[in-house]
């Protein structure tokens, strides 16, 4: 009898153990399945190359050392991103890219006044006697020199400046600001800012053309500049002349279009402009400015009779860059829609 009881007890214990093993196995299986599902969800949510994607999105490719040719064919190598830049007459474009030069251009009396809210602390270097000397440029220890036109190469200054630092020369940076700003953006690794500035200015010019269409369409404009040497027409190839013709859509006076440069009282009756803009360059042309305004010939010019003569700033109207050009557009809008 006792043996039969013991045998039944052993069978019962064996059944309990087997049941427990089965339950544990099922639980383990469920846990494994849940883990696999969760893992699958995570793998679906995060791509296998996520680390690489984040890295590519946050890291900017280093373009230096940069070897490049300027517009005159000179090859230069820029070892690293320059922080000390000498680019006389191109300060407007540098500021547009968020960069301060190591020195700023001056006519010997004033720098570009309209930029002084940004460049007031930057030392001035005079161009009153022509291009500054080798020693004057060397003193600022630039890491990159940028020259806005080919005169520096033609005068022999390029060869001297290139001994100081890598030197890039434009043929004429003011005739195509989009192109020259893109070139600067590439040199200084600020191409994104350059493209943003180009678009912003294009939008501003387009809006102005739309608002002023009734005042501008089919109308001719002329700019007369006064300095210590006399009175001169400004054509549409540069500075504010470019803005009026190419950005706002004014036609150019036939007198200017045909190649007239110097203004004399004798040719004023031929001036067929609907609007005339006067620029007294640093008040150096006061004598000629006053002579013109007091002339009876001048008073009989149609634009004068119609009250379509405007005296402008001698600063940004004679400067090249999107900041200056934007201010010219603002002035024209104010003159024509007071």
What average pLDDT does the segment 261-278 reach? 94
**Residue 153: predicted pLDDT:** 85
Q: Is the pTM of this model over 0.85?
A: no
Tokens of 101: 């030069």
Tokens of 328: 């010219």
Tokens of 95: 């500021």
Q: In 3-state terms, what secondary structure has residue 172?
A: strand
**Residue 283: predicted pLDDT:** 76
* Under 8 Å between Cβ of 76 and 67: yes
Q: What is the pLDDT of residues 153-196, one digit of tens each?
A: 888 899 999 999 999 999 999 889 999 999 999 999 999 999 99
* Under 8 Å between Cβ of 152 and 90: no
**Residue 19: predicted pLDDT:** 43
Q: Would strands 275-280 and 309-311 be described as parallel, antiparallel, or unpaired? A: parallel
Tokens of 292: 């013109």
Nearest of 76, 93, 74 to residue 152 by alpha carbon:
74
CA dihedral sign, ordered 57, 62, 67, 69: positive
Tokens of 176: 């195509």
**Residue 52: predicted pLDDT:** 52
- Please tell me which of 11-25, 87-101, 306-320 the model is most confident about, judged by mean pLDDT: 87-101
Q: Which domains are present in the chain? A: 66-189 (3.40.50.1980), 210-336 (3.40.50.1980)
Nearest of 315, 312, 316, 332 to residue 324 by alpha carbon:
316
What average pLDDT does the segment 310-318 reach? 91
Q: What is the pLDDT of residues 94-123, one digit of tens each?
A: 999 999 999 999 988 889 999 999 999 999
**Residue 313: predicted pLDDT:** 81
Mean pLDDT score across all residues of the chain: 85
Distance of alpha carbon 289 from its chain centroid, rounded? 34
SS3 content of the chain, % helix, strand, coil (to 5): 50, 15, 35
**Percentage of residues in the chain having pLDDT higher than 70:** 82
**Residue 154: predicted pLDDT:** 87
Tokens of 48: 């296998």
d(CA 109, CA 284): 11
């Amino acid at each position: 009898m006792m043996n039969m009881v013991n045998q039944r007890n052993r069978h019962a214990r064996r059944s309990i153990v087997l049941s427990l093993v089965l339950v544990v196995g099922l639980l383990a299986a469920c846990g494994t399945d849940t883990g696999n599902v969760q893992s699958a969800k995570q793998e679906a949510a995060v791509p296998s190359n996520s680390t690489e994607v984040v890295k590519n999105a946050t890291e900017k490719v280093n373009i230096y050392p940069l070897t490049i040719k300027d517009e005159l064919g000179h090859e230069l190598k820029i070892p690293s991103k320059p922080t000390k830049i000498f680019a006389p007459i191109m300060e407007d474009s540098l500021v547009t890219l968020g960069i301060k030069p190591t020195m700023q251009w001056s006519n010997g009396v004033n720098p570009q006044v309209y930029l002084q809210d940004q460049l007031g602390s930057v030392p001035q270097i005079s161009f009153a006697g022509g291009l500054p000397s080798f020693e004057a440029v060397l003193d600022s220890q630039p890491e990159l020199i940028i020259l806005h036109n080919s005169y520096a190469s033609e005068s022999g200054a390029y060869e001297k400046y290139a001994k100081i630092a890598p030197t890039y020369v434009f043929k004429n940076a003011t005739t195509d600001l989009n192109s020259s700003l893109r070139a600067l953006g590439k040199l200084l690794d600020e191409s994104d800012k350059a493209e943003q500035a180009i678009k912003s200015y294009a939008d501003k010019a387009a809006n102005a053309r739309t608002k002023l269409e009734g005042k501008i369409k089919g109308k001719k404009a002329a700019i007369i500049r006064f300095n210590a040497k006399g009175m001169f027409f400004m054509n549409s190839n540069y500075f504010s002349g470019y803005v009026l013709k190419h950005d706002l859509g004014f036609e150019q006076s036939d007198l200017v279009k045909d190649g007239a440069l110097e203004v004399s009282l004798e040719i004023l009756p031929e001036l067929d402009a609907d609007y005339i803009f006067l620029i007294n360059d640093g008040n150096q042309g006061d004598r000629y400015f006053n002579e013109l305004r007091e002339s009876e010939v001048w008073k009989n010019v149609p634009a004068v009779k119609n009250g379509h003569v405007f005296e402008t700033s001698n600063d940004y109207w004679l400067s090249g860059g999107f900041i200056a050009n934007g201010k010219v557009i603002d002035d024209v809008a104010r003159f024509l829609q007071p």
